[in-house]
Amino acid sequence: MSYVQRGRDYDRDTRYLTTRITADGRDGYPVEPGRYRLVVSRACPWASRAVVVRRLLGLEEALPMAVAGPVHDERSWTFDLDPGGRDPVLGIERLREAYLARDPAYDRGITVPAIVDVPTGKVVTNDFAQITLDLSLEWTAHHRPGAPDLYPVPLREEIDAVNDLVYRDVNNGVYRAGFAGSQEAYEAAYDRLFDRLDLLGERLTRSRYLVGGTVTEADVRLFTTLVRFDSVYHGHFKCNRHKLAELPVLWAYARDLFQTPGFGDTVDFDHIKRHYHLVHTDINPAGIVPAGPDLSAWLAPHGRAVLGGRPFGDGTPPGPVSPQEAVPEAHTPLGAARGATLR
């Protein structure tokens, strides 16, 4: 995540590395299983999109993943979760090293997700929106049997339209509110955010999923904001007209997705909370991480199946998470339900 303050308004730094990894290798980087490493943080909503899509499509072996720790400084994300504080494959302590390997004069955001070319140690791309689409469209030879079509041709125009609205007013809207430099800018972002959430709630009263009768890219993109809403955006970013848990339709929709294999089993609430409350020292100078909210309600029945639709269509759910990539139980609603604490 990277942002710049322009006057009183918040602007996201969108100067991404847009090189693509494609089946035909037209940008110089062909799809090759095991050649690349997807670097993420489970704290980051933009990176979490890639984590969800990778798991839904079954790309774990074809595209290995490195998980950075949830807290970073101005020098970038670190691999402090790994033994010795180095990624065991790339051999680096900070993601910044892979960006500088690509461009020694690199002066843009050191962001996740990033895909690194292992042989050269260089970042290929950090264009988070294109990364997930390319996982669906360019990595098809390595999808698992039964993988869902997250970007079906007949629905792409509608998916793109929904994604544009959700990105502007919800995904980025919470940041516009949280990092606003004036009361006026904050209230404008706040109003747009909740107006959009109200419209999405109305849409989802008629349909189990945002577009069509199965999970698509649109659901992935909305989910990663909704799952963080009550833990960080409601209080930390002052998006406090309502909690997600007070918006019945969106709350049931979010629980439905959370309980779908590939979504909730990728979420680490401890990393989410520690990142926002410890990194954003301008918002939370005391560095106090909230003890709540209670996570166990994420496991409550959602009742959305009555609307029809099947999450994977004619496909199948992904299998169990590998032990190497499993989120610690204490960082999950299951841990909360068993009395664990996120501290």
Pick the catalytic residue: 99, 175, 186, 253?
A: 175
Whether the Cβ atoms of residue 115 and residue 38 lie closer than 8 Å to each other = yes
**Cα 192 vs. chain centroid, distance in angstroms?**
21
Assigned token pair, 60: 């774990």
- Taken in order 14, 42, 67, 315, the sign of the CA dihedral is negative
Other CB atoms within 10 A of residue 33 CB:
13
39 phi, psi to nearest 5 deg: -100, 125
Asked if 146 contacts 200 with a C-beta cutoff of 8 angstroms, the reply is: no
Q: Which of 190, 336, 338, 331 is nearest to 273 (CA)?
A: 331
Distance in angstroms (rounded) separating the CA atoms of residues 309 and 212:
8
Whether 239 is a known active-site residue: answer no
Q: How far apart are CA 252 and CA 258, in angstroms?
A: 10
Whole-number Å distance between alpha carbons of 208 and 167: 20
Longest dimension (CA), the chain: 55
Q: How far is 10 from 272, CA to CA, in rounded Å?
A: 21
3-state DSSP assignment of residue 221: helix
Taking the CA atoms of 99, 82, 36 and 316 in sequence, report the sign of the dihedral they define. negative
Identity of the amino acid at 41: S
- Distance (Å, rounded) from C-alpha 269 to C-alpha 297? 13
Q: Which two tokens stand for residue 292?
A: 């709540």
Active-site pick, 44, 151, 190, 276: 44
Residues known to be catalytic? 44, 175
